[in-house]
Structure formats: structure tokens, C-alpha cells
Copies of this chain bind each other. A is one copy, B any other.
Amino acid sequence: MSPIIFLPFEKEIEPDGDLTLLQLARKVGVPLEAPCGGKRICGKCKVIVGRSNRPLPPPSEREQDLLGKLVQKGYRLACDTILTHGASVVIPEESRTGRQVILTSDTRHPYPVRLRPHVTRCHVEVPAPAINAVLADRERLLLALKEAYGIRSPEMDLFVLRQLPQALRSDPKGVTATLRDGKEIIDLRAGREERLYGVAFDVGTTTVVAFLMDMVSGEKRAVMPAMNPQIALGDDVITRISFCQERPDGLDKLRSEIVACLNGLVAEATAQAGIDPGRIMEATVVGNTAMHHLLAGLDPRYLSMAPYPPVLQAGQTLKARDLGLHIGTSAYVHLLPLKAGFVGSDTIACILATGLHKRKAPALLIDLGTNGEIVFGNRDRILCCSTAAGPAFEGGHIRWGMRAAAGAIERVRIDPDTLNVEWETIDHEKPSGLCGSGIISAAAEMIRSGIILSRGNMNGSLQTPRLREGEDGWEFVLVWGSETATGQDIVLTQRDVAELQMAKSAVYAGASVLIEKYGTASFSRIFLAGACGNYVDPRDACVIDLFPGCLNAKVVGVGNAAGHGACLALLDRNKSKEAERIARNAEYVELAAANRFQELFVSSMCFTSAGDFEDDF
């Protein structure tokens, strides 16, 4: 007896008059959707019966109801069809459940994802042209794809067409075509090709990260960070926008810098993983709006003029070659959607990664960076805003501030009695400065031990050699020069504390505005994103009043959630649709136009956990 073959998975099983196609598919591990559990309710387990050894039983009433016109195209419901004879059953793209995997991550937050990328591989054998009725190479390939996979008339990229005659004739085992959304053939290789790679980029103002992903296993094959080379042309977003306005070739220069950077990352990542970059079949990009515009070569000048309109908001899919990206010649790059001039696709990706948009209970999401993007909401409503927090959380404008690199102090402990200081550095190297979490930790400890008072001023009456007057007023010595990498004392100054107050009150006030607007005071989860956010001790954050809700909500560091969001959208096309919905439905709150923000900003300057002395100053 001939078997039932599930295509394109090529899994076989003997027909069984007692079991539906859905049950058989499950037995052999074919990933067929059936959210209703095979109860003939949801109509999602659509399959197409291709070659069949005998006539099929007619479609049931239920099938006709749920499938409508699709019945005429040969569609059946797997949960309502029993075959007693051999047949080939095609599982169309839309009926496949991707396999679920967990993205490896350096955070406490899991990133589960289904493997349902836009791109899929299809292996077919293409017969040689017949003498009597010559079909062209492309037409024979399309016919083979239709017969084996039910794929109807996909387009074919010019550069794939150029590979076609050779590919068809160089391996008796056929060819493997890579299709995007079943609509376009973007790659063709002789023989059977199992591998499929993608790359996700997180383009930050300061740092750029590339994630090289295996789209078959869901594994990260390489993570490659780099400094954004645009830094040489402007430290922050606003300087770079000015650079575009001031120089006729400014935009083009910034664009080529970042494109070269991404190409460099691809080259390094693929070299490390031993992969040909031409096998990368899809890329996703997230970044703040200015970085997004600069990469795409879109004029960013209006981002710096009220009301700060971006050039586009919804996601944009481009040929990699049009962007200048050296991956598969016919591959696509998807730029995730963004919300506003200062709420970029990185924030949308953070929402996507944390799942905030699917939660029943509202949650607060804070991306601690130069622009602190803040999101509050749940599956019903999402509010977002951006606060000009300043660079303090990245070590900027802080005397001994530095980026989160080896030798940066990331955690501080101060004995409240002796005021002695213990510290931890990244990679256990000799301390050379303070990164964001180190600054927050130091300030929190100084509050706990009474060195910093509620208005932020240092308590000059304390008797310790560590507290002294310096150029910027009082300063507290965290590490004596004898122990540092530079030989100089590492201190936190009165001015540093003031800088931190500005930053934290901007975040606190921004979050409060969103929460008030949403109309709740109760939420149970706070996601802290960004390199700094991941290492901040939630208790320290509470002590410095970094955000509201500290006492009741669980604080979770989610690391580079933006990068993970980019990976999710790469691996699961449904996630990329979710991102569009998030960006469309989220409500952007312009803090500059909100009086309440100004009030809250001023009133959030204090450290409420600190001791208060009437005789401050």
C-alpha cells in the first residue's frame, strides 16, 4: 500500500481509516496548525491534497463552511479528512506552525519564538526540457514548485534568473529555491540545501550589534558588536542631523559609514561562524529613528524640528542590494516600524521582545539611554514617550563616567558605619571609571549611608577622608588612586549627582505622565532594557527613584531587548506583523507639550529615600 506523504516535509505514514490527516500529521511530527485542537472549529488546519491514488471523499459540510471558495482549489481541512489510500498532502505555508525555540539571551527574560521566517527553502527536481513542447527553464521550475509545494507563480529576481540555467544543470539531485513569503524566488542553488541564515541589526547611536541567526535551528551563530563609526562625525543624534544639514554630502557620508559598518559586522560574523555571507537570505534592522533614517539615506533634518515628523513610520522592506548590504544578492532587508521622531523601531522591538503588548496586566518598559524611551501599557493600550534623559546612564557628562567596558565599576557597596567602599568591575579589571549601573549603584549606596541627602546635596558634616571638596564642590572618593588603572582617585562629584538627578527625574516624570494618562496606579512589572538597564540592581533603582512603582512591581532586566526584537521579527514573520500593529496602535505622548511633565520633572528631582536635613546648603 502506498503511503500518505506530507509535503514539503517529505514525512510518510501509512493510511489509516481511523485517523484524520491532522492526527496522522501529528504522529509523524508535521508542524500543522490547529489552534482548536482538531475540533473542526477554527479552520486553520488547511491542507491541499495533491496526487491521490484514488478519488477523494467529497468535502464535508463543515469543510465547505470553513473553507468557502478554497474548496474549489483543492483545499481540505486536515481535521475533517480521512484517507484510506496513498496521497501527497501539501501543508501550505499559512497552515504551518513554526517550531518553538528559546532565543539564547544573557538576561533573566526568556525569548520564546516560533521559527516561521519570511524565507523558506523548497527543494525540487526539475525535468529536462521535452523536445515536443519546450518549456523554458523558469517555467519548468515554477511548474515543479507548484506540483510539489502548491506555490503559485512566484516572481523571480533578475539575479536569480542569471543563476538559473547553470543551477538546473549541475546537480542530478535537483535545486533548492529560497522563497520569500511564497511570492518571490530570491535564491537558487544546485542540489539539496538545508542551511538558511539571517542577520538582525540593532543600530544604536553609539553601538551597533549584528546577530547572525540560523533560521533552521533558531540558534545565534554569532553576535558581533561594533562602535557606530558615525561617532567620528557627531557624538549624538542632533549633531549628526546638523552634519546632514550643513554639508551637501553629509547624509551620504553618514550613510556610507553605517552601511560599511554593517557590512563589516556581517563579514566578521560569517567568518567566525564559517558561513558564506551570500547565504544570508534576510535581514532585519532596528534602531532609533535618526539611525534608521541615516541608514536608509532618508533626510533626517525634520526630526530636529517640531513636531519632529519622521519620513516614514510603517516597516519598509528593501532589496539588500539597494541598501548596499552585502548579503544574498536578491535578499531583502526589513526595517522595522517606528512610532515617532524620538520613539524608534528599537523601542517597538523592545515592546515586541518583552511581550508587553500581549500582557493582561499593564507593565512599564524603560530603555535607559541618552534618550530614555518609556512605554506603559498592555494588550489593550500602549502609551510611549521619549525623555531627553541626557547621557548620564551611559556614563556621559559624569566626571569618571565611562561605557560599560572592562574596568568599569558596575556595582558599589558602602559600609554605612565606616563609609568604606567595596566595588566590582566588569571583567574584574582594575577600575578605570563608572558605567551607568555603577553610577546608579554608587549614588544609591551614598543615599543609604547618608552621604547624599534628599535634595541631592552631599552631607559635608560627615567625618571621612573620602568626602572632600573638589573643583565641582563636594566629591566622594569611591576608589583611591593606588587601586585604579590610572593611578588617580575615582570620585563621584556633586555635579555628577546633579546630572544623575536630571536624568532620573526625566525618566521618573515621563513614566508618571504615561501612567497617569493610562489611568492606573497598579502595575506589576517593570522591564529595564539597554545594556545599563540589564545590570542595574532594582533595589538601587528604587533608592534613587529612577521610576515609579518600585515597591510593588517586579523589575526585570531584559538586556538588549531591541536586538532580541529584531531577531524575533527575523525568525517569525508573525512577529514582524505584530510589530506593525504595535507601531500603528501605540499612542505617542509628546512630553514637550505636556505641562504635567514639567511639574513632575521638578518634583521628581529629590531622593525620597534619603535623609532630609533642614539645614541643607
A165 near B322: Cβ-Cβ < 8 Å: no
A513 to B139, CA, bound (A): 27
Q: Which residues of B contact A158 (CB under 8 A)?
A: 296-297, 316, 318, 322-323
Query: In the complex, what's the smallest C-beta–C-beta distance from A164 to chain B, in angstroms?
Result: 6
Query: In the complex, what's the smallest C-beta–C-beta distance from A236 to chain B, in angstroms?
Result: 21
B296 near A161: Cβ-Cβ < 8 Å: yes
Q: Which residues of B contact A310 (CB under 8 A)?
A: 136-137
Contact of A134 among B135, B301, B307 (CB under 8 A): B307
Report the copy number of this chain in the oligomer. Answer: 2
Asked if A518 lies at the interface with its beta carbon under 8 angstroms from chain B, I say: no
Asked if A434 lies at the interface with its beta carbon under 8 angstroms from chain B, I say: no
Query: In the complex, what's the smallest C-beta–C-beta distance from A159 to chain B, in angstroms?
Result: 8
Residues facing B in A427-442 (CB within 8 A) are none
Contact of A307 among B130, B161, B165, B593 (CB under 8 A): B130
Q: Which chain B residue shows the least CB distance to A159?
A: B322
Query: In the complex, what's the smallest C-beta–C-beta distance from A22 to chain B, in angstroms?
Result: 30
| Interface flags, A330-347, vs B, CB<8A=1, else 0 | 000000000011000000
A308 near B134: Cβ-Cβ < 8 Å: yes
Contact of A135 among B159, B301, B306, B313 (CB under 8 A): B313
| Interface flags, A136-173, vs B, CB<8A=1, else 0 | 11110000000000000000101101101110000000
Q: Which chain B residue shows the least CB distance to A313?
A: B136
A131 near B590: Cβ-Cβ < 8 Å: yes
A312 near B131: Cβ-Cβ < 8 Å: no
A318 to B297, CA, bound (A): 23
A309 near B161: Cβ-Cβ < 8 Å: no
Asked if A125 lies at the interface with its beta carbon under 8 angstroms from chain B, I say: no
A133 to B313, CA, bound (A): 13
Q: Which residues of B contact A314 (CB under 8 A)?
A: 138-139
Contact of A136 among B296, B306, B311 (CB under 8 A): B311
Query: In the complex, what's the smallest C-beta–C-beta distance from A244 to chain B, in angstroms?
Result: 11
Asked if A480 lies at the interface with its beta carbon under 8 angstroms from chain B, I say: no
Q: Which chain B residue shows the least CB distance to A130?
A: B307
Q: Which residues of B contact A139 (CB under 8 A)?
A: 312-314
B323 near A138: Cβ-Cβ < 8 Å: no
With A132-B593, A134-B308 given, can you name 20 additional A-B contacts, CB distance below 8 Å? A129-B307, A130-B307, A131-B307, A134-B309, A134-B340, A134-B341, A135-B309, A137-B302, A137-B310, A137-B312, A138-B311, A138-B314, A139-B312, A139-B313, A158-B296, A159-B322, A162-B297, A164-B298, A164-B311, A164-B312
21 A-B pairs within 8 Å (CB atoms) are namely A129-B309, A130-B307, A131-B593, A132-B590, A132-B593, A133-B588, A134-B340, A134-B588, A136-B311, A136-B312, A136-B313, A137-B312, A138-B311, A138-B314, A156-B316, A158-B297, A161-B296, A161-B298, A161-B312, A164-B311, A166-B299
